[in-house]
Structure 1
Amino acid sequence: MCGILVSAVRASLSDTEKFRNAWSALGDRVSRRGPDAIGEHRVENGNTCYYFFSSVLNLRSEFIRQPIFVSDSNEHQSLFFWNGEVYAGVEMGPSESDTRILASLVRPILRHSTVSEVREGLENLFSNINGEWAFALWHAGTATLFIGRDILGRRSLLWHLPVGSTSSLLGGLFVSSVSTTPYTRNSGDTLESGAEVAKWPKGFWEEVPVGIHSLELGHDDREETLSVRVSSSLLNQLLAPVVLPGLAHSGHGDISRQTAPSSLATTPRLEHPSGATVDSFLDAINNSVRLRVECIPGNTTHSPTRLAILFSGGLDCSVLALLADSYVPDGEGIDLINVAFENPRSRGVESRRNGFEGKHSHQTSYAELQGSSSGSLVPPTFNPICPDPEFSSPWDPTYLVPDRITALASLAELRRLRPRRPWRLVAVNIPFSAALAWRPIVESLITPLSSVMDRDLGGVFWWAARGVGVVGEQKDSEASHYRTPARVFLSGLGADELLGGYSRHRTAYLNGGYVSLAESLAADAARLPSRNLGRDDRVVSDWGREVRYPFLDPGVLDWCACTPIWEKVAFGVGTEVDPVDIGGSAKGGRDDLVGDKWVLRMAARRLGFESVWKEKKRATQFGSRVAKLFLDEAKAKGSDVLFE
């Protein structure tokens, strides 16, 4: 994995303190994504200066620094930046660097003399890749910058296209894996107050759309402006599995014109998917997990753990954890990262419910904790590497939130099913003071997203990726501090969107049967590139970790597209399963339509889970208790926009 940063500005701006501060701030943030190596380069093209910066997180046995200098037949030195993982589609050995292999495949493309020919060559190359990626390529022959993201946007890439005079930052071109924070850090990795730098104007950054883009810069000396001509190409990959999961497979074409067949409205419901359907689904998701786990190099630290799971204890992550067990060497631990927030709104209730006052019961009131002012926050010194002394056991009632309770129960099931695996539940307990102090950092990382829900979910994953918590084997045993050495995290994102895991899918089915359900699933899948994936990459990678998504593998997407929707989702499953067993209502009505993600539930049951397969879907922000955490957002909805 790598962090990518490129800027093009007029030479007159490049020497100003304004630009140097902005570039330095961006470089500091991008460098956190790749702690193993950094690289910088500068190219002058007339009155325009191009600046390049990269950071590398090495997740291959063969270590390659970036940028890679690639020469074409005319000896032009082009620059290649690769942020991603190749799982299939390119011939390479298990120990080889995908960065080096791709650079060698890019070299023949550089011989083309026109921008459109180079873009078409890149499109053909990257359309064949199964992986999660973003890249940047400076083509010296045409003085053009090419950038791209995979079809789902699983790696973050932001851009700002020039607007107005080149005397301001708005007049320059910026491409970056991440935005900056309004704070700087010192070598001790603690926040320093003051030193506000590069606080970008609202709307400065935008997500780069998925696909391949060429950026040709021009300049007007009289108007003192830069201009950029952007040309884009979609990848030649099958889009139907992403946008219309569970409908008839129509192959390539204009996905916006594909519709659900009317026959779905009258198709009889099945009480269960067939055994063959469950088997084929397990084959698809198991192969996806294998591709993402087998290629992780061994860890050389004293704790040889190479893999962690973003773990709420729910259905999706528990299945991934169990499948990953087959591809991690015997005796090596798998870390299950579970996040819980101290939420003063519920602290007293939970303490009374557990029969005693928690260790934080002496603290001041909620209003006093946060302070009466909702103005700018100056974070206290709080070291994100060393555990805070208030961090306590996984069973502390302050942090015994719904997701913690579920995680402990699922951990017991994993240990029963795979007793020889050292499963380690890492309880990441976040004091209210820490969540409040670090709120500005999370809000900067989710940029350009800006909703309350994005900040809440981004906060959960940011603290999870930090990987610092406590572990304890038994409720009454002494807990110890722990920091995961794993650099790769697995996420269950995608299961809800593809397999009908949200309540809105149930509502759609009630209102319009399988036709409406299919349309709802299609809309959710289509939103993935712009909603979740770039955000999650930015917050997780800020700690030098990489997140991978087994449910979004092309093999799983293709399975979803080819499998009838009633074989995956079974709202109104019949009488064989008591709805109460899986979170429904014994009284009937809307709540007893309990068949969300039904094929995944049946797969979990086939794998041997006794309770996990029955777990009801719970939103991460509520399960971790990060929702409604801050006093100034007591009445805010998840869709409300921050900073307004």
Structure 2
Amino acid sequence: MCGIALLVSGIRICLSSLNLDSISSSSKSHLVFSVDDLKAALQRRGPDSLGTMKLLLPLHSNSSNSTNYRVSSFNEESHVLDNGSDMPESFAEFVFLGATLQLRGVSPVCQPLMDSSRNVLVYNGEIFGGIEVGIHKNDTESLMQSLGNCCSCRSQEHRTTCDFNGQAKGSIVDVLSVIKGPWAIIYWQESSKTLWFGRDAFGRRSLLVHWPTMEDPRFLLSSVSPTSSRLQDSSFEVENGSSGIKFWEELSCGIYSMSVDVKKSDGSFHSEIKKHEWTNAMLKELIKWERVSIEPKPAELNFSHSRTSSAELDINSSSSVLAQNVLTALRESMLRRISLYNIYQALKETVPVAVLFSGGLDSMIIAALLDQCLDPNYEIDLLNVSFDGESAPDRVSAKIGLKELRRVAPLRRWRLVHIDADLSKLTWETKRVLSLINPANTYMDLNIGIALWLAARGEGWICKESNNETDEDKRVNYTSRARILLVGSGADEQCAGYGRHKTKYRHDSWLGLHKEMKLDMQRIWKRNLGRDDRCIADTGKEARFPFLDEDIIRTLLDIPLWEVADLDQPSGKGDKKILREVAHMLGLHNAAILPKRAIQFGSRIARESNRKNFGSNRAANQASAGSVVINVQSYFS
């Protein structure tokens, strides 16, 4: 799956129970999105299929058991109209859209799905556990079956199995709470006339929302912000949501419901949107992100220091026990994300999986584990983007990393894909990424978005049949066709990889460090993952995050903080200490000592952006360029 959307009109929606800080409202100029705009945004992602289904609820249908409504569904092969009664004079309208990137199952699936009970589902995600998915089945179809078995009473507050018509059934919240893996969902439960929607607890799949306003009373959900075809003010700035008009916002992680009723006093449709608590106890613990041990006793810290200094020489020492637990969990996380029996068998690519690759600690661990888990007959693409040719730090470390991977995995065919870019020539691409990162709107967001989008697209060159990555005579153009892209997101947040973590530790010691890391994990959905998912999915790829597996998060929280990171040590040693031990265990001794370098700096897009927009790096630093909101008109002048 690569994208979902919903447009709801004709219902007066109450949002009071959500306690929203504010609802964005435009004044003179505002965006107007149509179904065609949503379809175009999903279509450009290159899905295998794109389907649309319209559900109409006539105003006289005021019984929860009524089936007197019209459904029309459309995909590229058929047009079906059911219950074809005359169009009612007044009705509520739900338009569901689903773009499918087929990655699992033996038969093609086109969303939206409708079952025999007239429940409707569009789902963008992967199920790696919690719900059984057969070897030859598609996870969306399996989820549809599980949701169809849920209780259809109209009480959305139950938290345990309830008795409905003599049958014990769980709730929709129960089903969604046990899913392991990234997901965003929109589901219509016909028997209760209830719309369910939401995204996983860590926000690994994007879902944007437009809450109803006076200017646009419709309710919209979408995996991505489309380009509006209808504007009061048709300027590019407004079109891309960069003028201060905030039409979309990231939907907060969680499960929401909207039950539709007819209010007798005015004879119109009314609904209240409610947010529900997760019912999975383990998941609730992960969301709280509380560590078992935060502040060490002096003896524990001294013992840890002694083990850190000897870890490189003796990986069988006691220091390796905790790292071995992490390595085991990471290997299982990787297996869940690339097991070939789960990959749609119609795929014939010689490279089914690629790695967003800088040659740094995180991407090297991912690449080495991928080699251990992937059929040896497959090649692996390592996608590396540079805005400074062969001189960018990430290009240098990628070539060194490739040599190390060839040493530890000599039988694997590795492809380092050199993706070279010139920021001054990326006008069209920049405009596209500006739309993709929306509602994010800073220069840092744009720089990261451009780098991710170019890397995921995979268009570059490789050195054919040569171990010399600088041999220009061996350069050939190459585009990666892998549809699964492994990304190292979450490693820095969980293992104290950012510079601000060291600053926080120096000022507030271990407890301050823990709070800063907790804050990072609890806002990663808003600051990082939605943006990154939109940029990567736009290229027809699906991002998968091994470090954000639920079991990885649990494993790391079970490790004392001083064993995860030792920020008294220099950069490249104490930050992400536990992952550096994992790298040593994998034989990645050079990668184990590399310092942290963010993609915008390692690829040197930040430097080029600073020169373009602020005149120099120094001026950009003085202006705190990373957090500055983009001025679109000056950017393209």
Short-chain TM bin: 0.7 to 0.9
Question: In the superposition, relative to structure 1, how do residues 121 and 224 fare at CA in structure 2: closer, same or farther (>3 Å)?
Answer: closer
TM-score of the superposed pair, with normalisation by structure 2 = 0.78
Give the Cα–Cα distance (whole angstroms) in 2 for the partners of residues 444 and 620 of structure 1.
20
Q: Is 1:247 matched up with 2:313?
A: no
- Cross-structure match for 1:35: 47
Give the Cα–Cα distance (whole angstroms) in 1 for the partners of residues 205 and 138 of structure 2.
18
Stretch of structure 1 that moved more, 271-280 or 594-603:
271-280
- Cross-structure match for 1:209: 252
- Cross-structure match for 2:111: 66
Give the Cα–Cα distance (whole angstroms) in 2 for the partners of residues 512 and 198 of structure 1.
44
Question: In the superposition, relative to structure 1, how do residues 621 and 292 fare at CA in structure 2: closer, same or farther (>3 Å)?
Answer: same
- Cross-structure match for 1:587: none
| Offset at residue 183 of structure 1 (A) | 8.2
| Offset at residue 234 of structure 1 (A) | 2.6
3-state DSSP of counterpart to 2:383: strand
| Offset at residue 231 of structure 1 (A) | 0.2
Question: In the superposition, relative to structure 1, how do residues 557 and 20 fare at CA in structure 2: closer, same or farther (>3 Å)?
Answer: closer
Q: Is 1:57 matched up with 2:101?
A: yes
| Offset at residue 219 of structure 1 (A) | 8.7
Q: Structure 2: 5+ residue runs without aligned partners?
A: 12-29, 60-90, 161-169, 309-318, 633-637
Give the Cα–Cα distance (whole angstroms) in 1 for the partners of residues 516 and 235 of structure 2.
46
1:145 to 195, 199, 218: 195
- Cross-structure match for 2:608: 629
- Cross-structure match for 2:141: 100
3-state DSSP of counterpart to 1:532: helix
2:219 to 166, 173, 176: 173
Give the Cα–Cα distance (whole angstroms) in 2 for the partners of residues 284 and 339 of structure 1.
29
Give the Cα–Cα distance (whole angstroms) in 2 for the partners of residues 21 and 520 of structure 1.
38
3-state DSSP of counterpart to 1:570: coil
Question: In the superposition, relative to structure 1, how do residues 198 and 27 fare at CA in structure 2: closer, same or farther (>3 Å)?
Answer: farther
Give the Cα–Cα distance (whole angstroms) in 2 for the partners of residues 455 and 195 of structure 1.
16
- Cross-structure match for 1:321: 367
CA contact (8 A) 1:80 1:138 kept: yes
Amino acid at match of 2:374: V
CA contact (8 A) 2:360 2:596 kept: yes
Amino acid at match of 1:134: A
| Offset at residue 52 of structure 1 (A) | 1.5
Give the Cα–Cα distance (whole angstroms) in 1 for the partners of residues 150 and 630 of structure 2.
44
Give the Cα–Cα distance (whole angstroms) in 1 for the partners of residues 320 and 120 of structure 2.
51
- Cross-structure match for 1:233: 276
Question: In the superposition, relative to structure 1, how do residues 183 and 416 fare at CA in structure 2: closer, same or farther (>3 Å)?
Answer: farther
- Cross-structure match for 1:354: none
3-state DSSP of counterpart to 1:438: helix
Q: Alpha-carbon deviations, 1:403-438, whole Å to 9, x = none?
A: 000100000100111111010011111123433332
Q: Alpha-carbon deviations, 1:246-286, whole Å to 9, x = none?
A: 434xxxxxxxxxxx6x6668952412361211111111111
- Cross-structure match for 1:638: 626
2:332 to 287, 310, 323: 287
CA contact (8 A) 1:540 1:547 kept: yes
Q: Alpha-carbon deviations, 1:38-65, whole Å to 9, x = none?
A: 1111111233222121110000133322
Give the Cα–Cα distance (whole angstroms) in 2 for the partners of residues 178 and 32 of structure 1.
11
| Offset at residue 199 of structure 1 (A) | 5.4
- Cross-structure match for 2:423: 432
Stretch of structure 1 that moved more, 285-294 or 239-248:
239-248
3-state DSSP of counterpart to 1:522: helix
Alignment of 1:416-431 (within 5 A): 416-431=407-422
- Cross-structure match for 1:512: 508
CA contact (8 A) 1:401 1:625 kept: yes
Give the Cα–Cα distance (whole angstroms) in 1 for the partners of residues 372 and 301 of structure 2.
37
2:562 to 566, 580, 596: 566
Give the Cα–Cα distance (whole angstroms) in 1 for the partners of residues 528 and 237 of structure 2.
28
Question: In the superposition, relative to structure 1, how do residues 504 and 479 fare at CA in structure 2: closer, same or farther (>3 Å)?
Answer: same
Question: In the superposition, relative to structure 1, how do residues 466 and 263 fare at CA in structure 2: closer, same or farther (>3 Å)?
Answer: closer
- Cross-structure match for 2:181: 131
| Offset at residue 498 of structure 1 (A) | 0.4
Give the Cα–Cα distance (whole angstroms) in 2 for the partners of residues 598 and 149 of structure 1.
31
Give the Cα–Cα distance (whole angstroms) in 2 for the partners of residues 268 and 610 of structure 1.
24
Give the Cα–Cα distance (whole angstroms) in 1 for the partners of residues 237 and 492 of structure 2.
40
Q: Is 1:608 matched up with 2:587?
A: yes
Amino acid at match of 1:511: H
Q: Alpha-carbon deviations, 1:124-170, whole Å to 9, x = none?
A: 11111111111100122333321011110101111111111xxx5x2
Q: Alpha-carbon deviations, 1:166-209, whole Å to 9, x = none?
A: xx5x221111111013689xxxxxxxx99999655721111111
Q: Is 1:459 matched up with 2:502?
A: no
Amino acid at match of 1:323: L
Give the Cα–Cα distance (whole angstroms) in 2 for the partners of residues 510 and 334 of structure 1.
41
TM-score of the superposed pair, with normalisation by structure 1 = 0.78
Question: In the superposition, relative to structure 1, how do residues 640 and 69 fare at CA in structure 2: closer, same or farther (>3 Å)?
Answer: same
3-state DSSP of counterpart to 1:507: helix
Give the Cα–Cα distance (whole angstroms) in 1 for the partners of residues 411 and 152 of structure 2.
54
Question: In the superposition, relative to structure 1, how do residues 122 and 220 fare at CA in structure 2: closer, same or farther (>3 Å)?
Answer: closer
- Cross-structure match for 1:376: none
- Cross-structure match for 2:81: none
RMSD over aligned Cα, in angstroms?
A: 3.0
| Offset at residue 109 of structure 1 (A) | 1.7
Question: In the superposition, relative to structure 1, how do residues 247 and 224 fare at CA in structure 2: closer, same or farther (>3 Å)?
Answer: same
Q: Is 1:403 matched up with 2:415?
A: no
Alignment of 1:441-590 (within 5 A): 441-472=432-463, 473=466, 474=468, 475-476=470-471, 477-573=473-569
- Cross-structure match for 1:386: none
Give the Cα–Cα distance (whole angstroms) in 2 for the partners of residues 209 and 547 of structure 1.
20
Amino acid at match of 2:209: W
Give the Cα–Cα distance (whole angstroms) in 2 for the partners of residues 182 and 43 of structure 1.
23
Amino acid at match of 1:7: L
1:268 to 296, 301, 306: 301
Question: In the superposition, relative to structure 1, how do residues 632 and 181 fare at CA in structure 2: closer, same or farther (>3 Å)?
Answer: farther
- Cross-structure match for 2:313: none
Give the Cα–Cα distance (whole angstroms) in 1 for the partners of residues 267 and 626 of structure 2.
42
| Offset at residue 441 of structure 1 (A) | 1.1
Q: Structure 1: 5+ residue runs without aligned partners?
A: 12-17, 185-192, 249-259, 343-397, 574-578, 584-593
Question: In the superposition, relative to structure 1, how do residues 301 and 220 fare at CA in structure 2: closer, same or farther (>3 Å)?
Answer: closer
Give the Cα–Cα distance (whole angstroms) in 2 for the partners of residues 178 and 219 of structure 1.
31
- Cross-structure match for 1:356: none
- Cross-structure match for 1:79: 120
Question: In the superposition, relative to structure 1, how do residues 521 and 161 fare at CA in structure 2: closer, same or farther (>3 Å)?
Answer: same
Question: In the superposition, relative to structure 1, how do residues 90 and 619 fare at CA in structure 2: closer, same or farther (>3 Å)?
Answer: same
- Cross-structure match for 1:393: none
Stretch of structure 1 that moved more, 91-100 or 418-427:
91-100
CA contact (8 A) 1:304 1:333 kept: yes
CA contact (8 A) 2:153 2:192 kept: no
Give the Cα–Cα distance (whole angstroms) in 2 for the partners of residues 514 and 266 of structure 1.
15
Q: Alpha-carbon deviations, 1:562-613, whole Å to 9, x = none?
A: 111111112235xxxxx5xx65xxxxxxxxxx40001111111121113111
3-state DSSP of counterpart to 1:450: coil
CA contact (8 A) 1:83 1:155 kept: yes
Question: In the superposition, relative to structure 1, how do residues 265 and 150 fare at CA in structure 2: closer, same or farther (>3 Å)?
Answer: farther
Question: In the superposition, relative to structure 1, how do residues 78 and 118 fare at CA in structure 2: closer, same or farther (>3 Å)?
Answer: farther
3-state DSSP of counterpart to 2:596: coil
Give the Cα–Cα distance (whole angstroms) in 2 for the partners of residues 195 and 27 of structure 1.
20
3-state DSSP of counterpart to 1:214: strand
Identical residues among aligned pairs (%): 32
Question: In the superposition, relative to structure 1, how do residues 49 and 93 fare at CA in structure 2: closer, same or farther (>3 Å)?
Answer: closer
